[in-house]
Amino acid sequence: MDSIFSPVQKVVFEVSETRVAQRSDYEKLTLEVWTDGSVSPDDAVAQAAKILKEHLTVFINFEEELEEEDDELDEADEKLKASLSKHVEELELSVRSLNVLRSLEIDFIGDLVKRSEEEMSKSKHYSDQCLQELKVKLSTLGLSFGMRDF
């Protein structure tokens, strides 16, 4: 019991093994509570349980927040994987930009983002305009050139 919760004079507890149906791996908690009479023992235990619950909700809410963050990360990962597995033709690029990608044997967006801008300039169909178009299309998906860790 809490030392500030002064109506409680004495508490004795006992933990004993108990059996429920065929299972004997349960434990029973027995509390004996003496008070000064201003509060009943039942009310004292109820108040103590309420205080304990308030203190433990910090841990309960912490776990829920972590689960929500994990769910958000999973959704972001799924969205990223879906974008990377799309064919480059789904980017609705100009013919010239598609020719650049074909000459470099880039079929999927995942292959494209692994490349650097320098690698892209090695194509015979390369132009700054094509590179700019590719950068804009990738940025709409939250992607960029030179991505390695995904």
- Give the pLDDT confidence of 27-62 residue by residue, as tens digits: 999 999 999 988 899 988 988 889 898 888 777 766
Residues 64-118 pLDDT 10s: 555 566 666 677 788 888 888 899 999 899 998 888 888 888 899 999 999 888 8
Report the candidate in 81, 78, 102, 94 with the shortest Cα–Cα distance to residue 134.
94
Question: What's the average model confidence in pLDDT over 18-30?
Answer: 85
What pTM does this model have? 0.50
Could you give the domains of the chain? 8-82 (3.30.1360.10), 86-140 (1.10.150)
pLDDT score of 147 more than 60: yes
